[in-house]
Amino acid sequence: MRRCIVLLLISLSSTLCCAELATQTLNMPTARYFSYMAIQGLKDAAQNAKAGGKISDADYACISNVQIDALALTINNVLAEHFSKDEIKPLDDFYGSDLGKKFAGYTIQQARIRAGTPVPATESIELTQDEIEIVNSLVKTASAIKLQAMIETIKLGAGQKLTEIRNACSS
């Protein structure tokens, strides 16, 4: 219980101290996408660790309850430092769209497949040729190229926050 309260306090402190920057990208779809990817990776790693007896049930439960917003504001702040509203708009438009959300699920699915985790056929996500073309068009935009160039910066900011989250969940 104490771990979950600490985790909640970390999330709230990020929300309070960064609320002004967070408004720069209303709804933060790009930040939420990267947060989703990182949080889902953390949850998958915790599930594997639990299956291998490497973490306690309490730690696993704590990590399983981490929400996307626990990391989205941190990533949004990194993006706000490097992108103008006009630069982030095409990315937010994509990641906030139905296709962007589908792409997030597809990306997680592909990561799980690369990690050797079977994906049930009923949960399989496939992109149509038209959707692939839209994604390919997006990655050629100046905003996406800039985003790709700063992935390590995003990972660094997110990594520090993920470490806080993991530490808050450790018994």
- Specify whether the CB–CB gap between 31 and 75 falls below 8 A: yes
Distance, in Å, from the CA atom of 33 to the CA atom of 100, rounded to the nearest integer, reads 8
Distance, in Å, from the CA atom of 53 to the CA atom of 47, rounded to the nearest integer, reads 10
- Specify whether the CB–CB gap between 83 and 29 falls below 8 A: no
Q: What is the DSSP letter of 55?
A: S
pLDDT at 27: 63
Helix runs in 83-150, H state only: 85-95, 98-114, 129-139, 142-149
Query: Average pLDDT, stretch 15-39?
Result: 65
Nearest by Cα to 155 from 96, 71, 95, 69 = 71
Take residue 91 and report the two structure tokens written for it. 């990315």
pLDDT digit string, tens, across residues 126-165: 999 999 999 999 999 999 999 999 988 888 888 888 888 8
pLDDT digit string, tens, across residues 86-126: 999 999 999 999 999 999 999 999 988 998 888 888 889 99
Distance, in Å, from the CA atom of 154 to the CA atom of 164, rounded to the nearest integer, reads 16
pLDDT band (50, 70, 90) for residue 171: low
Rounded to the nearest angstrom, the gap between the alpha carbon of residue 169 and the centroid of all alpha carbons in its chain is: 18
Distance, in Å, from the CA atom of 83 to the CA atom of 159, rounded to the nearest integer, reads 20
Q: What's the mean pLDDT when you consider all of the chain?
A: 83
